[in-house]
Structure formats: C-alpha cells, structure tokens
Amino acid sequence: MVTVLLIAVGYGLGSIPTGLLIARWQKGVDIRQHGSGNIGMTNVLRAVGKGPAVLTLVGDLAKGLIPVLLARAWLTSPWAIGLVALAAVVGHLYPLFAGFHGGKGVATTLGVFIPLLPGPLLIAFVVWAACVAFRRQVSLGSLVAAASLPMVALLWGSPAAYILYALLAAALIWYRHRENIERLLAGTEPTIGQRVRLS
C-alpha cells in the first residue's frame, strides 16, 4: 500500500508543469505556444530567458528528487524505489495537470537518479556537458547522456533494478526527442544561442 501511495506521489509531483507555470509567472505567456511548444528548460531558455530557465531546471530536478528521497525513507526494495522514480519521470512526460503534454524528461530523470546512481550520473553529465560544449545542442547532449547512463551503471555494478529503470527512462527520453532526432539528422536542430521571438 505504501508503495502504491508513493508511486502516486511520484506521478503527481512529476505532473507539476514547472516550465509552463514559470513562463506564465515571468512573462505572462503560454510556453506551449512558442518555439518547440515544449514546457522544458531548453524551450523556456529560448523563449523566456536564462532566469526562468534556471528556475524551470531546479523545479524539474526537485520533482524527480523529492519522491525518490521519500521512497528511500519508506521502502527498501530497489525495484519499488525505482518504480517511484519512473512514475515521476512519466508524470513529467505526461502530466495530469497539463493535458498529458509534458516535457522531454531529462531534468526530472537527472533528479530521480541523483540519489540512486550518483557515480554513473556524474559520468553521464560530463558526457552531456561535452556534447553541449562542442555542438551547442542540448538535445544531442541529452540523447547521448541518456543512452550512456544505463551502460555506465552496468559497468559500475549498480543494482539491476536501477539499471533497468535507467534503460526505460532513456527509451522514454529518446521517444520524446524523436522530432529533435529528425532535425539533428537533417542538420536543422537549433543551437543554444538561438532565441524565440515572443508574439
């Protein structure tokens, strides 16, 4: 019963549309009507600016981190804790409070794995940072980092449950980035410096 309750909490917290709320608060705009239409940090950065993007990042991290910390306080099974983590990611991707149209899951995935896979996550973050530094494309860095996390976790000797959930999270992230993948292959994916003009 506790596991089910915590899964619901994870999904509920994940469903909070941080970027949507912050863009409305800061600029009075619906971020879904600008740029890529995504409610995540990257689109907030392009459309609204650095400050709101940082707040979005912190919020998306927190809504992944908090349910996992609660799960670790109440549960002992890595499989059950991983389910709570995955529920938070799914909540961000398909939020109850935003018509099931959410972000792409990267920041929330980062939040859920900070306490579960700290070592592998640090390596995945370095991979992300290197990709972004060289190519100036957050989506490319996110895709490569997401794919690297379960592989590094496997080599690290992490619990099988966390490796599987990292693999599932990576698959969800790649699925949600399918339009970015098409643009990357076509050479039309925007870089960090490109801004969206608000109407």
Which amino acid is present at 87?
A: A
**By three-state DSSP, how is residue 161 classified?**
helix
- The pLDDT of residue 158: 96
Model confidence, pTM = 0.88
Which pLDDT does position 146 carry in this prediction?
95
C-beta contacts of 76-81 below 8 A and 24+ residues apart? 77/161, 78/159, 78/160, 78/161, 78/162, 79/161, 80/3, 80/6, 81/116, 81/161
- What pLDDT shows up at residue 190? 78
pLDDT tens column, 43-76 = 888 788 888 889 999 999 999 999 999 999 999 9
pLDDT of residue 193: 58
End-to-end CA distance of the chain: 48
Please tell me the predicted confidence (pLDDT) of residue 46.
Answer: 78
Spatial distance between the Cα atoms of 196 and 155, rounded to a whole number of angstroms: 41
Q: Return the closest-CA partner of residue 180 out of 29, 23, 15, 36.
A: 36
- Using an 8 Å Cβ cutoff, are 109 and 60 in contact? no
What are the per-10-residue average pLDDT scores of the chain (199 residues)? 94 94 85 78 82 92 96 96 96 89 90 96 94 87 95 96 96 93 88 55
3, two tokens: 């596991």
Rounded to whole angstroms, the maximal C-alpha distance in the chain is 50
What's the confidence (pLDDT) of residue 194?
A: 55
Q: Determine the Cα–Cα distance for residues 87 and 107; give it in Å rounded to an integer.
A: 14
What token pair was written down for 131? Answer: 């990709």
Is-contact 179 8, C-beta < 8 A? no
d(CA 65, CA 94): 18
d(CA 193, CA 184): 16
Tell which phi-psi region holds residue 77, choosing left (phi > 0), alpha (psi between -120 and 50) or beta: beta
